[in-house]
Each structure stands twice: as C-alpha cells, then as structure tokens.
Amino acid sequence: MNILDCHDLTKIYPGQTTALDHINLSCADGKIIGLLGPNGSGKTTLVKLIQGLLTPTEGEVLIDGKKPGPETKAMVSYLPDLMSFDESMKIRDLFWLYQDFYADFDKSRAEDMIQKLQLDPSEKIKLLSKGNKEKVQLILCMARNARLYLLDEPIGGVDPATRDFILHTILSNYQRDKASILISTHLIADVENILDEAIIIQKGHIQLHESVETIREQYGCSVNEYFKEAFKCY
C-alpha cells in the first residue's frame, strides 16, 4: 500500500489561478521524500490538500488509501508553514492540547526534547524567539507516532544551528519501518542528504520524481545542482 497517491489532482483557486494541474503521484511507504520547487510552484497547495485543509477542484488524493478526513488526520502529523498556536499559551499547555487531540502523541518524548533545548515549559509562546517557536512547533509535530509526517517548510528562515537541530530532530524521531516523511522546501541543498526521493514540482506540474542517489549517479551532481541546471530562470 502506498502512503500517498494522487490521481489527476487539480486545484484551481478563485480567479482561475491553477495551482496544481492534473498531478499523478505515488509514494511508497517508509521513505523521506522531499517536495522541492521554487516559491509559487504549488508545494503548499499539495500539502494542504493532503491535510484536507483544501478540497480538490478535480481528482483525488489518498493517504494510505483513504481520502483526507478524521481517520487520516489521526495518522498524519502536520507542520504548517506558519505559526499555528495561540501564542498566549504556555509550552506546557500545548503538550496537554496535543495529548487531548492526538492519541499518538508521546508527551514524555516531547518533554525530553524541550528539556534538551533548555526551554522552560512554563514559558509563554509569544515570549520565545522566532527560532525557538519553530523548534517547539516541530517538537510537537515529531513527538507524535504518526504514519506520515507532513512538514511544510520546516527550515525556512532559521539560522544554520537551528537548521541542524531541526534536521537532527526529524532524523532522530523517524522510525523508517513505521513512518514516512514528506518535507516541502525550496532549500534543497540543506535537506538533500536526508532524503530518499525528490519530487520536483514547478508551475503546478511534477517535473521529476526520482531517488536522490539515482539523480547523483545519473547526472554526477547534487540534487541542488541538478535543480538549478534543469530549471534555470534566465
């Protein structure tokens, strides 16, 4: 069973902007997959369709064979590209919130990670730095024992040390026999070492879906270089 299937998936926003144009995609289970593409290519639209935050104009998306709904949300751990919490809440309150909403949330694992970061659980979210907010959000997401982690721009706009922390947190929580990860990002060079496969998306079309090692073998260059060469803007 594939963890993710898209059949002719299309999203046209009001005003006739076509964000995704008849996308067909199958992702096998147990892999870390990069959803790569420039800004405005349709990455976030695809992620939101998988999470059920948008409905397709045409076609369908299936998660483990099921349409987005309560059943898929129980097994998909979603990291939005924006801060999604009530910032007046404390870190500790968020633990309770996650525990109430998600049966697969491992509270003690989240507490451990917060402690390693030397953050105070009684701190209010709004008093945290931008980097620490992103870390807390990622920790909550990765402390779920999900089937699919859906990470939308997890390393956008953070410093190199925070980026390393985020990549390490993703890797150290990833159980490859139990879960898959879809990471959407335009920062290809930063994530390509942790990927199994790359999906390159441009202007609402899938341009390439290939193992990253195959790209390196076939083209003799990194995924980042391949991308720059194949999708030159000038």
Instruction: Report the Cα 126 to chain-centroid distance in Å.
Output: 23
Binder among 17, 84, 115, 193 for another protein (CB under 8 A): 193
How many whole angstroms separate alpha carbon 154 and alpha carbon 134?
Answer: 8
What the block records as the tokens of 52 is 């059920």
150 contributes a contact to another protein by CB under 8 A: no
| Residue with smaller CB distance to another protein, 83 or 194 | 194
Q: Does 195 bind another protein (CB under 8 A)?
A: yes
Task: Give the pair of three-digit tokens for residue 11.
Answer: 């999203």
Residue 39 burial (CB count, 10 A): 7
213 binds another protein (CB under 8 A): yes
DSSP strands (E only) in 14-163? 17-27, 32-36, 58-63, 76-79, 148-152
Q: Given the rule CB under 8 A, which of 53-61, 81-89, 191-199, 200-208 is the region that contacts another protein?
A: 191-199
Amino acid identity of residue 21, one-letter, is: D
CB atoms within 10 A of CB 159: 10
Tell which one of 85, 205, 225, 231 touches another protein (CB under 8 A). Answer: 225
Provide the 3-class DSSP secondary structure of residue 112: helix
> Do strands 76-79 and 148-152 pair parallel, antiparallel, or not at all (unpaired)?
parallel
Would you say 100 or 177 has its CB closer to another protein? 177
Q: Which stretch binds another protein (CB under 8 A): 14-22, 152-160, 168-176, 200-208?
A: 168-176
x/- string (CB under 8 A) for another protein, residues 61-100?
A: ----------------------------------------
Distance, in Å, from the CA atom of 29 to the CA atom of 151, rounded to the nearest integer, reads 16
Among 99, 202, 207, 224, binds another protein (CB under 8 A): 224
* By CB under 8 A, residue 210 contacts another protein: no
Which residues contact another protein (rule: CB under 8 A)? 30-32, 164, 167-168, 171-172, 174, 176, 189, 192-196, 212-213, 216-217, 220-225
